[in-house]
Amino acid sequence: MEQIKQREVILTRTNNKKEFLQGMQAGIPIGMGYLAVSFTLGITARNIGLTPLQATAMSLACHASAGQFAAMNIISSSAGFMEMAVTSLIVNLRYLLLSSSLSQKISSRTPFFHRFIMAFFVTDEIFGISSARPGYVNPFYMYGAAVVAAPSWELGTFLGASLGSILPASIANAMNVALYGMFLAIIIPPARKDRFIAGLVILSMAASLLFSVAPVLSQISEGFRIIILTVVLAGLAAVLRPVESQEIQEESAHE
């Protein structure tokens, strides 16, 4: 019995190491995109009077470009802390949905402390690669991606706040395109394998465009816009093509 337990421990550690390395590999393009985008964020921080240390501290506490840009706009307008808190909450509400969705990809046997750490590193991009993983998401996969991506976010912010004045504004703004290319790399492979996913991606893009140009819908904040589209489209997909959880599939296989 003791030998069996030791073997299971060894297998678990080996699998965790494998997942961690795979997460690091997946986190490299994310880190490159973060470095470019956060560099622009650092320039913005510099322009409103934040020091490189202050800007980097903000990126350490908040891995959200939209939330940080919104907070910096409020700082530059000399608004109060309450307005900043409420605005950041609204802008970052989509992470509530991302975390709720990702919780369905986490095994019920995953300890709370793993869930807590994973929640801190949930970003749009890490959510994307984690959701694309078959079966349950191993916490160490997210840790591997975060080990590469998160420091890139802080480093880019520091460099932008310290050296941002060196680059022309046109080049700095063009660096934001990097994340869009990375998102395409995430959604294209599953869309090519499944026509339903491809159709859902096209529908999502069309709906997002509609919300951006329609007279009334365009007035909705970005945070609420993402939440509305996510709930409606994800709900539609769940009704049209429900997916059984891995636990149910395993139980069915044993029967």
Q: Which of 187, 204, 223 is the last residue of a domain?
A: 187
- Tell me the longest C-alpha to C-alpha distance in the chain: 68
Q: How far is CA 220 from CA 28, 67, 95, 144, 247, in A?
A: 34, 16, 17, 36, 39
Q: Are residues 171 and 239 in the same domain?
A: no
Q: Are residues 154 and 205 in the same domain?
A: no
Q: Are residues 181 and 198 in the same domain?
A: no
- The boundaries of the domain holding residue 235 are 194-255
Q: How far apart are CA 163 and CA 165, in angstroms?
A: 6
Q: What pLDDT is attached to residue 99?
A: 87
User: What is the full per-residue pLDDT of the chain (255 aa) written as tens digits?
Assistant: 666 666 666 777 888 899 999 999 999 988 988 888 888 888 888 888 899 999 999 999 888 877 788 788 888 877 777 777 777 777 777 788 888 888 888 988 889 999 999 999 998 889 888 988 888 899 999 999 999 999 999 999 999 898 866 766 666 666 656 556 656 766 777 778 888 888 888 998 898 889 888 888 888 866 677 778 877 887 888 788 776 554 444 444 444
Q: Which of 159, 187, 215 is the last residue of a domain?
A: 187
Q: Are residues 113 and 237 in the same domain?
A: no
Q: What pLDDT is attached to residue 5?
A: 65
How many domains does the structure of the chain reveal?
2
Q: Are residues 209 and 111 in the same domain?
A: no
Q: Which of 187, 212, 230 is the last residue of a domain?
A: 187
Q: What are phi and psi of 6, to 5 degrees?
A: -65, -40
Q: What is the pTM of this model?
A: 0.70
Q: Are residues 139 and 206 in the same domain?
A: no
164: which residues sit within 8 A by CB, 6+ positions away? 39, 42, 43, 46, 172
Q: Are residues 159 and 202 in the same domain?
A: no
Q: Are residues 116 and 238 in the same domain?
A: no
Q: Are residues 142 and 40 in the same domain?
A: yes
For residue 37, how many C-alpha atoms fall within 13 Å in the half-sphere facing its CB? 26
Q: Are residues 80 and 120 in the same domain?
A: yes
DSSP 138: P
Q: Are residues 240 and 135 in the same domain?
A: no
Q: Are residues 76 and 168 in the same domain?
A: yes
